[in-house]
Structure 1
Amino acid sequence: MYWPVGAPEVYALSKHADIPPTPTDDGVGGLDSDKQALQNGPPVSVQSNPTAPASVKNGNIADDSSGSGDLDGHGSEKEILAMKVSKGGSIFATITTACLTVWQTKPTVVLAAIVRSSKSLKAYGSSKALLMRPDGHIIVVQTDLGFLITYTLATDPQAVVYQTKFPPSAKHNRRDSVDGHTSYKRPAGTSSSLGPCEQGGIREVNLRFRMVIRIDAGISKALALDNELVVATQKPAAIQCIRWVAENGSPQTSTELLSKMSWLKCKPPIIEMVHDRPMNLSCWISKEGKAYAVQRNSHKVDNEDNRELFHGFCFRESEAEGSAAIKLAINARFSLIAVGCANGIIEVYVVKDYTGNIPLSHTLQLSPSTSGHGKLSVLSYSPDGYCLFAGYENGWAMWSVYGKMGASSFTADLELCEENNDRFLTSVRDAFWIGGGCELAVLSNNDDRLWLLDIARNAALSCMLPSNMFQGLVQSSKSVMLYRGHDVPDLTSLPGDSPLWQTIQLPSTYLARHWPIKSVAVSVDGKYLAIAGRRGFAHFSVTSGRWKTFDDQDVESAFAIRGGMCWHQHFLITAVETEGRHQLRIFSREKALERILSSEDIDAPAILTTTSGGDSLLVYTYDNILLHYIIAPLGSSIKLVQVGQIGFHGVIRAPLRVRAISWILPDDQLEHGDPSQDVATASVIFLVDGKLVLLQPSMNEHGELKYDMRVIAQNVEYYLLIRDQGGAVAALNSSDACHGQMNETAVLDPLGHSLRDSLWYYDGDAYHVWSDVQDVLVTAPAELGRDLPPTVRVPIDFAPITTMIAKGVVHGLDPELVQRRDLNFSFFKLVSRTQLFLPKLLRYHLAEYNSPTALHLASAYQHLPYFPHALEILLHDVLDSEVDKPPSPPETALLPTVISFLSSFATYLDIIVNCTRKTELRSWRTLFSYLPPVRQLFEESLASKKLKTAAGYLLVLHTFEQDQFQVLEFARLLRHAAAEKDWELCAELARFLVGIDSSGRTLSSALAEAGLQDALEDTEQSQAGDIDYFSTFQRG
């Protein structure tokens, strides 16, 4: 999941440019001479020969205080109308009505600007929209008179205009540990004062006019691709393709009328187009609101009349009022298409093939309390596909890939937003992701500023290691947050604002050279942390609080992490690419990073590198092979020994779409088998796109190993195989349980914990749990024709980060927007959330009439201080469901089974009373119809000296037997409370008796019956309405 954190950075063009921009006429000087050709030419006319090209290099530096944002509602020359980012994310461009500006992403500065002259504005019209070729070398400005003005962007990688220098005094000695520089090694060549990517300085670029393209048929929508410019025209409705560079023997432009496309269900103009290169798929929206999946035909037909440029199909109709499609976004990582509707609802479709099989996957909708969101303006998936950002006319919202609602600006106080000029919360015109998803650029309506939001995300999603899943790790642009709640014995005893997350600032010297951070890995015990950016890596010791970086920048820049990294004890195992070769390298936290302990060449680049069990390493490569290594000790070091490999050719079609991998070995093989035979016995679990796939080994008729594949879950964001998480299951033996101690790094004996072999997956709404993955393995083979065992659904109302099996708790985060009147800005912070998963698992086992399994599971958690609360939640949930929907027939009721189960625990009587205190009166009859008489429960509570519990049963008894009320039970309880000197309980009972009899006679009778004569005498000396019962009982 993704969350904005902190306050956004704000950028605007400086009011005082260092170099005044020179207006350009955009070739308008040659307009008269070419006028006849333009009028009589084809629908697409190209005008070149610029007369006054101009470029402004580095004229304006971005400054977060220069823009005012004070634009009227009708726009302004300063108002930013559109922005586009290059595919690599290194540059982006913005336009106003007359100015085109090119920015560098990091550091965020203006590289060049070009201002259109009054001649150009009069001849071609004001700027309206912006296009950029994916590589960023050609930028196109669309005008409101139907012209496309193209510019070229030339860069020199070796030319640097600005190089920031800081005096030595700018570095403070106390920051050495953060920057990776100590007195024991030579100073780094990068200043610690530099920000992300500032080591490379500010590049030199030249922005020059290229040509003007006139679209006589009117522009409905335009799209810039790698090789061509695709334009949807209005009259006639057609699609025109204009190649950036003309090929010999073929025209530069080609046109196909919509009326000639037999697969189109309607012929109105196309109003929206998006294209995704990895999927080789385009999506169009027609004026009627229908959505189409489209591909470009690769074959060439010489006959112009029979040529078909595109083929496609309609995958979404527009039937209901307000449901017309208006915005699109393609998620190649999960094969999804998001369709934004006019009513603000977002429908997400899954692309199963390219022949028309694109069914609806799920629907995203703002909460009913959110009204007045306005028209949907932008849809954008994060680079890894895990987050969808939706910008509306009056705010924005974020969802996880399969529908978990995240941050939203619709909770903002509009009055404070207006007062603080926080327009990024109240409107969105456009937005895009930068830094691999660690920042989000937002453009508001009627604004001359850009807002850059720092984004925090679950680090496990980009590096699905078992240790990352267990420990809880969140990364942002400049820091990492590590969850420290595993060391807390009782999470319920902590104050709500207790810091359970440790924020670790990333080394500025490393960020200056290799931002953004692409992957983060934490060790199983949470002691070590490693980060990897564009080149090299750095690692951190949680104990010492120090980073370790490379002393030699050349060595650091000589390789890049490709395929992940993982920890084994204090050794870091990395998959690297260096000089065209691919290797597995081992580094030690205790040694200099320049020293490689061991290296192994691999034939293909690694996609995933992960540990399994105690000493196994799995490496999945681009050539669809899973390599199995044993991590063997070698003196004070370790080495990798390959013992097997598995080829998945014909099984996994697209290796790059695999997100995570695990395998399950039979217990006999795991404990006594030869490691070289692991590949022949292991069942392999893959996460491919959003599908959880199980591969099971078997032998064919020729005695050859083959794998049977079955998809066991859909819409999976991530999964947890508990047996792979060495720290996930605590050793809850009897001696530790007595003292409430837990060893989070040990794994139980197979009979010690019923969740040791559990498999969990998260679908954006809830965890789904198989308590024993062996049940899945038994039923999975397709030839058996058996259904998979059902999962236990554990709904989560926040984004889960870590599942603490030993504590029965899911921990996660929620974003919170902070707006205060003593601050002139708004900011986001992350709030910790926890939820017990134990009640849902127990309920499932009891519903299956499997009380022994439920008791076995519960026995592992009895030592926890909040275990009675978990049982109370179980009872409360079952009671509410059966009161709201009585079971039919009554014999199928689950409540009797739950009550019988609860009676096995010493806190049984307390659980029943606590449940009654938190339920409505109408539920009491249902609950106590399956219980012994209330008077008997009262007697049991008194016998157990649970006086407050007995008081609760007295309340129930009075409710049920108001007509037969007797004071004897109250007197007995008063006598026991006075004997135990529980004066608070005595006072509560006295207040209750006065409440039902304001005359005080009932209280007097109870006190007399209890033998509290002193208290009775004090009572008689005062008026009933003035009695301080608490003081009275204290004196007694």
Structure 2
Amino acid sequence: MYWPNGVPRVYAVNGPNIAHVSDDVNRQGNSNPLAEEQSSTDSQEPTDGARERENPEGRGDDLKPEQPPSQEDASHWEQEAIGGLCVSRSGHMFATITESSISLWQTRPTAVVAAVARSAYSMTTYGPNVAVLMHPDSTILVVQTLNGYLLTYSVASDPATRVYQQRFDHSTHPRRQQLAHFSAVEEANVVGDISIRFRMAIKIESGIVKALALDQELIVATVKPPAIQCIRWAPEASGTQTKSELLTRILNVPKKVSLVDMVYDRAMNLLIWLTSNGQAYAVQRAPGGQEESEAPKKLFHGHCFHDPKSDGEEALKVAVNARFSLLTVSCANGEVLVYTAKDYTGNVPLSQKLDLPASPSSTGALTFMNYSPDGYCLFAGYENGWTTWSVFGKPGGNSFFVDPNLATSNGENWLTGVSNGSWIGGGSDIILSARNDRRLWILETARSALTGCFSAANLARGLLQTGTEFILYRGHDLPDLMTISGKDSLWHHAQYPPAYLHSQWPIRSCVVSQDGRYVAIAGRRGLAHYSINSGRWKVFEDSKVENSFAVRGGMCWYGHILIAAVESDGSYELRLYSREDALTNSSIMHIEYLPSPVVFIGPSGEDSLLVYTYDNILYHYIINSMQTQITLVPVGQIAFNGIVRAPTRVRAISWVLPEDQMRNGDPSQDVKVASVLLLVDGNLVLLQPTVTESGDLKYDMRVISHDVEYYILMRDQLSFNFSSQVDESLPSSPSAEMALEPSYSSLSLRDSLWMFRGKDLLAWNDVQDILQQETVPTPLNIPLDFYPLSVILNKGVVLGVESEMTQRRDVTFTSLKFAIRYCLVHLGTPAALSLCRHFSHLSYFAHGLEILLHHVLDDEVDNESRANKADGPIIREEPLLPTVIAFLQASLPTPEYLDIVVQCTRKTELRFWRTLFTYLPPPKVLFEQALRLDALKTAVGYLLVLQAFEDEEELGHDGHIEEYVVRLIGLASQKADWELCGELARFLIALDSSGEMLRRAIGRVGLRPSPRPSPNGGHSGLGSRTASAASVRGLGLSLPVRTPSWSSLSPTSSLSPRLNGRDGEVSDEYARSVDSREGS
């Protein structure tokens, strides 16, 4: 769902035309030899910000006096390579380190707001910087040094002071005045005055492996002895500030085993520890109640979920995906394993192994792994590049196939290896740093709008969002060939309104209307909406109103009405806004108050709205548009207590109503008969209602599938995804087979259920099959080599985007061959015929059937080859090829059927032809049939098959081939199709290089060239035996002897006509018999 988008922005500390930070200590008049650091605040103008900080505290008190550092000691710190990166929890700030400096950055606008250059004495005493940490509230920075110290710094900001203010040009244009108004009042447009003050140096005598900065404490993994130390930011009431526990006691591991890495996830409240023996543990802090027990208390308890069984399986890096409860481990052999955390008691089974884009020797060692904030993308940095995967393993963009020499010469080191990376902007950008490079690259991503707002319309319309714009696919209503062209013009780009973007960055969610006419966006606060036709945005005129609420739980469109789930001053509401009105408080059409926050909101059917909330209740509303004022009418609700354990884990909800209830039933009774689909932690769950003997309603739960990234219930998209273009009634005279199997007479995929599982796209042709059967039926599997954005059902294609963000001819992918083959195998020919009637109007329908025939033929030839190589008898399945051929005959007009068969031969090898024609009439019969239908080009294709078969059998009947060519040239000349005549002439020359066969054919057809003088004064004609083949003229063309163009005549080099002219001669008797037939 994520793709790299465009060229990254490049940043560096003290780049060109930026003043260097001063380290002039003596100028401050303070000669304290214990001064630890110098700090400054970068702004647009040089500032005298070099100020000495407090004396080191704690372990730093015993430092010996030393001379103050000179400017030369730290004058080149800004040229050092970036060695560490840390982003704050809010995402509005991040810090970088080099060996001797710390820089604090503001995310938007991206700028260095403070920097610290360590003194030479500090470097000697504490050692170079190794890693940087940040307190979750961004008020404390912690730097780990090589000598086992933790240097802590306070981060202070002055909201009343600014070092940079973004201003718009004040002009008479009302739009610019509005932008100036916004920029004057919003703090998002400024760079604040932030300072860094040194606090203390903490010495860890046991050495430091890794440290984590949590809300209440620092957690430090030590080297010798292997242990865990917890250092509180503030002392407890008892006065203790540090607690420690040996690793062998926590994990019950040998004494020599230590930690090599650890990460913490706040959402799951889970620590992941990697040990030196290659194991991975899921660890939690022990409850505080244990302190009162008599037994010795344990600080942590954990469970091993990855235990290497062989060399190379040792865990080296780990990442946590709290959104989908996944733990991802990178092993020493390069494998990346994904585990599912089902509970906190050690039930963490292996889910899958990710496919690497290149070999471990090509990628190099893994440097970091990070999941996007929404959990849908895993970004992995390597020594020689980077790669991405979707949440359940679909490979995405990577940089391992770039030209390294070109990347190096252009200074694009982010392509050839990255050392650190962190997501910002809610997943809209990722910060990257390269090895031995002082620059930062901020790479923008384009992601499916589904990640921020799960909506059926977002799925159907193919909506993408970036950090600065949304991109909408607009090919649904265009002609078939334009839909699948993959041109850039099919995508509508619209930049977010600048004022709203600057005030409310990042944009968290986007949603498109079902008809594709409107798009709404929501950032940190407020919302805005856009008209595709007019290209105009509407934003709140009053910034106070815009900041008074935030969208929580999603949005959806009902025609031109935007329905938004919002939170405003502790109140949870559903608000209705009209696209036609200005965005103000007075323009709210309706407000529906809710008792708890919304998790999901989505339309169902024509006028229903489903709202799922934090209190585990699904509300059903009817959108009442019959009166002058549109309102929401609550008609029912379902409580899922005891069924859904964690409402926040639910990604989407749909329901399926019985057909009679949907058409004629009372909407208030929908909740009693509806089967509910939920997407929870990647599991697609079905809840089917049943009534107990006491009359109570209960639900039977079934898990339909695992590892589901999204699903599409087509009945929720019928109003815009499957326009009625064909007559769905039965033909006037149905065949006997269709009469015997009427259950498939209306098969159209309108009630189909689709889902994407990270590898392939799966579909059931009717969701009722799942509801009515005890076991989940086998779905149709559509393998894809790209990530699918949408299923365009009325076109029979799957729309997607290439992982490298480059377009090619087959960006859209036809799914017809898979669906029809599935019907032929599992449902029979009548079902396939019924399905085809809905797609036969497509201009590429015949091409899709040709691909189907080609794939089935490949499979049949492979099966025959395996059977021939087998030592003993094997059980062979009934061949599908004759069924497909019979289906083509029944579903297509004869000319199209003949053309599909001959096109299939042109694109396969000669050895495949025998298998194909085992189930077809002889090529001669098909050739004659094509001639009777006046399909001359199709007949030429069968002519090649005839010639190939005769060559293979060495029958030497070139006379038959000559006869067929004569007939074709005669018919083509009557139509004045001289291009076809030229191809046939070249074909005859390839058979007989002397030109005799061509002369006879031209003469028998009756085409004679105009006489021309011969060198000896006479006239020569085509019948002259002395004329060379190079002088042959006919059909208004010069026909020189040359190598034939086999691209237009033959699909393979194995089809080689004999070049012996004598073999091409025919007896006079045969020639006379041909002439007599032509004259009769």
The answer to whether the superposition gives a TM-score over 0.5 is yes
Residue 641 of structure 1, CA deviation:
0.6
**Is 1:149 equivalent to 2:151 in the alignment?**
yes
Q: Percent identity?
A: 48
Residue 954 of structure 1, CA deviation:
1.2
In structure 2, the partner of 1:651 is: 643
State the secondary structure of the residue aligned to 1:806: coil
Equivalent residues in 2 for 1:328-727 (5 A)?
328-368=318-358, 372-491=362-481, 497-594=487-584, 595-725=587-717, 726-727=719-720
Amino acid at match of 1:586: L
CA contact (8 A) 2:484 2:812 kept: no
State the secondary structure of the residue aligned to 1:100: strand
Residue 602 of structure 1, CA deviation:
0.7
CA contact (8 A) 1:61 1:110 kept: no
CA contact (8 A) 2:337 2:350 kept: yes
Show CA shifts across 1:222-263 (max 9, x none). Answer: 222222211111111112121121111263212221222354
Equivalent residues in 2 for 1:542-941 (5 A)?
542-594=532-584, 595-725=587-717, 726-734=719-727, 754-779=748-773, 786-816=774-804, 833-886=811-864, 889-890=875-876, 892-904=878-890, 905-906=892-893, 907-941=896-930
Residue 931 of structure 1, CA deviation:
0.9
State the secondary structure of the residue aligned to 1:892: coil
CA contact (8 A) 1:472 1:802 kept: yes
Q: 1:778 to 1:735 in 2, by over 3 A?
A: closer
In structure 2, the partner of 1:187 is: 178
CA contact (8 A) 2:710 2:756 kept: yes
Residue 1011 of structure 1, CA deviation:
4.4
Distance (whole Å) between structure 1 residues aligned to residue 674 and residue 798 of structure 2: 29
State the secondary structure of the residue aligned to 2:235: coil
In structure 1, the partner of 2:14 is: 14
TM-score normalized by the length of structure 1? 0.88
CA contact (8 A) 2:747 2:831 kept: no
Partner of residue 1028 from structure 2, selected from 1008, 1023, 1031: 1023
Partner of residue 56 from structure 1, selected from 9, 32, 40: 40
Q: 1:765 to 1:105 in 2, by over 3 A?
A: same
Residue 314 of structure 1, CA deviation:
2.0
Q: Runs of 5+ in structure 2 lacking a partner?
A: 47-75, 732-742, 868-873, 1012-1019, 1041-1080
Distance (whole Å) between structure 1 residues aligned to residue 605 and residue 691 of structure 2: 25
State the secondary structure of the residue aligned to 2:90: coil
Residue 876 of structure 1, CA deviation:
0.9
Residue 863 of structure 1, CA deviation:
0.9
Pick which of 376-385 and 926-935 moved more.
926-935
CA contact (8 A) 2:37 2:118 kept: no
Show CA shifts across 1:138-196 (max 9, x none). Answer: 21111111111111223345554432234325x9x6xx7xxxx39xxx835546899xx
Residue 371 of structure 1, CA deviation:
5.1
Q: 1:1007 to 1:267 in 2, by over 3 A?
A: farther
Partner of residue 104 from structure 1, selected from 103, 106, 125: 106
Q: 1:943 to 1:396 in 2, by over 3 A?
A: same
State the secondary structure of the residue aligned to 1:367: coil
Partner of residue 130 from structure 1, selected from 129, 132, 136: 132
CA contact (8 A) 1:521 1:530 kept: yes
Pick which of 559-568 and 632-641 moved more.
632-641
Amino acid at match of 1:1000: G
Equivalent residues in 2 for 1:211-222 (5 A)?
211-222=200-211
Pick which of 359-368 and 277-286 moved more.
359-368
State the secondary structure of the residue aligned to 1:961: helix
Residue 815 of structure 1, CA deviation:
4.4
Residue 879 of structure 1, CA deviation:
1.0
Partner of residue 975 from structure 2, selected from 976, 980, 983: 980
Q: 1:75 to 1:737 in 2, by over 3 A?
A: farther
**Is 1:209 equivalent to 2:198 in the alignment?**
yes
In structure 2, the partner of 1:34 is: none
Distance (whole Å) between structure 2 residues aligned to residue 923 and residue 986 of structure 1: 28
Show CA shifts across 1:2-23 (max 9, x none). Answer: 1111111111112544763567
CA contact (8 A) 1:810 1:835 kept: yes
Distance (whole Å) between structure 2 residues aligned to residue 265 and residue 689 of structure 1: 36
TM-score normalized by the length of structure 2? 0.85
Amino acid at match of 1:1003: L
Q: 1:82 to 1:305 in 2, by over 3 A?
A: farther
CA contact (8 A) 2:744 2:830 kept: no
Q: 1:1001 to 1:448 in 2, by over 3 A?
A: same
Q: Runs of 5+ in structure 1 lacking a partner?
A: 32-49, 63-73, 739-748, 780-785, 818-827
CA contact (8 A) 2:555 2:564 kept: yes
**Is 1:968 equivalent to 2:963 in the alignment?**
yes
Show CA shifts across 1:870-916 (max 9, x none). Answer: 00111111111221233864561111111110111111111111111
Pick which of 965-974 and 694-703 moved more.
965-974
CA contact (8 A) 1:14 1:60 kept: no
In structure 2, the partner of 1:121 is: 123
Distance (whole Å) between structure 2 residues aligned to residue 265 and residue 1019 of structure 1: 97
Pick which of 729-738 and 513-522 moved more.
729-738
Pick which of 245-254 and 688-697 moved more.
245-254
Residue 854 of structure 1, CA deviation:
0.5
Q: 1:394 to 1:890 in 2, by over 3 A?
A: closer
In structure 1, the partner of 2:1002 is: 1007
Amino acid at match of 2:88: S
Distance (whole Å) between structure 2 residues aligned to residue 829 and residue 246 of structure 1: 59
CA contact (8 A) 1:750 1:756 kept: no
Distance (whole Å) between structure 2 residues aligned to residue 439 and residue 206 of structure 1: 26
Question: How well do the aligned residues superpose, as a CA RMSD in angstroms?
Answer: 3.0
Residue 365 of structure 1, CA deviation:
3.1
Q: 1:354 to 1:132 in 2, by over 3 A?
A: same
Pick which of 477-486 and 9-18 moved more.
9-18
State the secondary structure of the residue aligned to 1:487: coil
Q: 1:1029 to 1:288 in 2, by over 3 A?
A: farther
Amino acid at match of 2:618: L
Count of aligned pairs between the two proteins? 964
Amino acid at match of 1:82: G
Partner of residue 82 from structure 2, selected from 68, 80, 83: 80
Distance (whole Å) between structure 1 residues aligned to residue 1033 and residue 629 of structure 2: 75
Q: 1:1029 to 1:80 in 2, by over 3 A?
A: farther
Q: 1:712 to 1:729 in 2, by over 3 A?
A: same
State the secondary structure of the residue aligned to 2:1037: helix
In structure 2, the partner of 1:67 is: none
Q: 1:932 to 1:305 in 2, by over 3 A?
A: same
